[in-house]
Amino acid sequence: MIVDRVILGRPLRSVAFDVAVSGLVALLAVTWIAMAPGGWKATLVGIMMALALLFRRTHPSSVAAAVAALALVQVVVGWGPLPYDVGVLIALYSVVKYADRLRYGIVAGLVAAVGVVLATLQVRPAPWWSSALWLGSVTGTVWLVGLNVRTRRLYVLSLEERATTLEREREAEARAAVAEERTRIARELHDVVAHTMAVMIVQADGVRFTIDRDPAIAREAAKVVADTGRQALEEMRRLVNVLREPSRPEPADAAGPDGVLSAEPAHHRPALVGLPDLLDRFRAAGLAVTCAASGEPTSLPPGLELTVYRVVQESLTNALKHAGVGASVELVVDWSPAAVVVRAVDDGHGRPVVRPAPSGGHGLVGMRERVGVYDGSLTAGPTSAGGWRVEARLPLPSAPGAEEVLT
């Protein structure tokens, strides 16, 4: 990374350039000390102009006023135009370019026009009109160049400000999307915990009524209560982490189809048993989805099962939005004793979407949040064939919870 050096709060290159400009004016003043009508006094005026030009960027209006006053002194004493009067043009250019308001540049231009008239009256032996034309054209050209540079400078500054504003808005939208997705995850985990607690209550009641009549059934029910309680405790821990831990927002361009309506009822908690219906909805929307599973499927905790479902849903939604209608998507669910891996790869060859696709969150932002809750990993990126690949790996519990059995 390149860091610009600064001196006195200003870029070093700007300071060096201003010192060079001021040195040039001072050199002209010293060089003409023997030929200047005022001698060392005229040289002193030129050096004062040079010193004032050191601050032409930070205080352009004040510098222009000081240089104009020194030039007026030069005219009043009758020295006429001198070579170091190029400092007047530099001050005029600076006030037009750097002043906060253009009206200061207009005032400086009018003052320069008066100076041209006064200088023309002192030029000898050339005709007054020739001197007026020459001095007026040079001064006017400098003023117009300053105006053009000012316009370009303000345009670049406006573009930079607009880009900064858009970046802030994009970050705010990403944070809002993450917050909304985390709230949705928390609501769904809350439903999972509530359902698990209801199962525990039913099983505990079963233990109470069967402990005397059938101790074996009672022991089995007690085991289910313990396993379900552990599962509920784990889900509660994840719920608290979702509500407590801050999250780094993803870039807005990584988000998926925000704002797309879901095709499922708000009160319905999806499960893997509903995966075929989900795939049918995407096929009806225009995706050519093929689904394959490898390994031996295992029973998942409700929250983890919901996460797998949402990852599949958001992966297909992302494919429908970006690859388009008619794209082919290969969906693979890989089961192993350590983890379940969901992989969705599209070919990228489709046409624009006509109707909204069913969505369960905020694209990659939502998937990353959900996978992170269960200590999983998510990778997404383009393929060499021009499509897009999403792969989520979710580790399975070391001791799978027992199935929820009602008595």
Closest CA to 367 of 391, 395, 341: 391
DSSP-derived 3-state class of residue 351? strand
Grouped pLDDT means (10 residues each) for the chain, 407 residues: 58 84 87 70 87 89 90 81 86 90 89 85 70 85 91 88 84 76 69 65 70 75 72 66 52 38 47 83 83 87 84 85 84 91 88 50 71 86 87 78 35
Q: Which residues pair with 329 in a beta bridge?
A: 289, 346
Alpha helices by DSSP H, listed for 330-404, are 363-373
How many other C-beta atoms can be found within 10 angstroms of the C-beta atom of residue 198?
13
Please tell me the predicted confidence (pLDDT) of residue 375. 85
Closest CA to 18 of 70, 91, 109: 91
Count CA within 13 A, CB hemisphere, residue 275: 21
- Long-range contacts, stretch 171-177, CB < 8 angstroms, 24+ apart: 171/249, 171/252, 173/252, 174/249, 174/250, 174/251, 174/252, 174/255, 174/365, 175/249, 177/249, 177/255, 177/258, 177/362, 177/365, 177/366
335 burial type by CB count under 10 A (0-12 exposed, 13-18 middle, 19+ buried): middle
**DSSP label at residue 100:** S
CB 396 within 8 A of CB 386: no
DSSP-derived 3-state class of residue 90? helix
Q: Which residues are CB-contacts of 205 (< 8 A; sequence separation ≥ 6)?
A: none
Domain boundaries, the chain: 6-125, 174-244, 256-395
Closest CA to 65 of 55, 75, 78: 55
How far apart are alpha carbons 234 and 128 in whole angstroms?
A: 95
How far apart are alpha carbons 3 and 1 in whole angstroms?
A: 6
CB 112 within 8 A of CB 86: no
How many other C-beta atoms can be found within 10 angstroms of the C-beta atom of residue 318?
24
Please tell me the predicted confidence (pLDDT) of residue 125. 58
CB 378 within 8 A of CB 394: no
Q: Which CATH architecture has domain 174-244?
A: Up-down Bundle (1.20)
Residues making up the chain, counted from first to last: 407
Please tell me the predicted confidence (pLDDT) of residue 4. 55
What sign results for the dihedral spanned by CA atoms 377, 170, 187, 322? negative
Which CATH number applies to 256-395? 3.30.565.10
Q: 294 in the Ramachandran plot: left (φ > 0), alpha (ψ -120 to 50) or beta?
A: beta
CB 371 within 8 A of CB 238: no
363 burial type by CB count under 10 A (0-12 exposed, 13-18 middle, 19+ buried): buried
CB 279 within 8 A of CB 351: no
How far apart are alpha carbons 75 and 303 in whole angstroms?
A: 88
Q: Is the pTM of this model over 0.85?
A: no
Please tell me the predicted confidence (pLDDT) of residue 239. 62
Please tell me the predicted confidence (pLDDT) of residue 356. 46
How far apart are alpha carbons 154 and 116 in whole angstroms?
A: 29
DSSP-derived 3-state class of residue 8? coil
Angle at which helix 363-373 crosses helix 215-244, to 10 degrees, equals 130
Strands 288-294 and 328-335: parallel
